[in-house]
Amino acid sequence: MSETIDTIDADKDDVTPETAAEAVDEQKPGGDDILVQEGDIAGDYLERLLDLLDYDGDIDLDVEAGRAIVSIDGGEDLEKLVGPRGTVLEALQELTRLAVQQETGSRSRLMLDIAGWRADRREELKELGRSTAESVLKSGERVRLQPMSPFERKVVHDAVATVSGVASESEGEDPKRRVVIFPES
């Protein structure tokens, strides 16, 4: 406690266990503070990348569901950074996570979206998951979807979970891992 008292620069008589704990908490980055730091590092990294490519884009940083979300919008050439079925976007996300890890020393779960592609894809996958689940419910037949990224599979699993009477699981090995939707027993 004496280290804490020295750190917060207070008289010993004014320090209670509660004020000491508050002072320590203020000095340690909290969960959201760490995520904001990750977002800032990612934003700087992506800004340098856009400059190198001579692409225009606005970078937006947010924290949602326990992860940093970085979005790039507004540029004409940004769809090139998404690539076919988001393959370039996934690669850039991994590079950005590595840049954050290099700075912070810990693995990041940062999510990158470019030109709203991931948000649009999420809506498409929700509809695919719901409609396929309803079809499986009517037919009673298992359906195997095309191979998907972990992000895509999670969205489909969540959508299937909203339909009573069906379930889903992933099968196979990446990059050919896919969602299978089946009637519950």
Per residue in 125-179, pLDDT (tens digit) is: 999 999 999 999 999 999 999 999 888 999 999 999 999 999 999 999 988 999 9
Distance CA 86, CA 89 (A): 5
Half-sphere exposure of 38 (CA within 13 A, CB side): 29
Q: Which residues of 71-90 are buried (b: 16+ CB within 10 A; e: fewer)?
A: bbeebeebeebbeeebebbb
DSSP element (H, E) containing 169: strand 166-171
Tell how strand 178-183 and strand 143-144 pair up: antiparallel
pLDDT of 30 reads 56
Q: Check pLDDT > 50 for residue 95.
A: yes
Per residue in 34-87, pLDDT (tens digit) is: 999 999 999 999 999 999 999 999 999 999 888 999 999 987 889 999 999 889
Beta strand ranges found along 10-90 (DSSP E): 58-64, 67-73
Residue type, 41: I
Please state the rounded mean pLDDT for residues 111-118: 95
pLDDT of 19 reads 39
**What domains can be seen in the chain, in order of their start residue?**
31-115 (3.30.300.20), 120-183 (3.30.1370.50)
Distance CA 78, CA 71 (A): 11
Coil, strand, or helix at residue 114? strand
Residue keyed to tokens 């008589």: 13
- What pTM was estimated for this model as a whole? 0.72
Displacement of CA 135 from its chain's centroid (Å) = 30
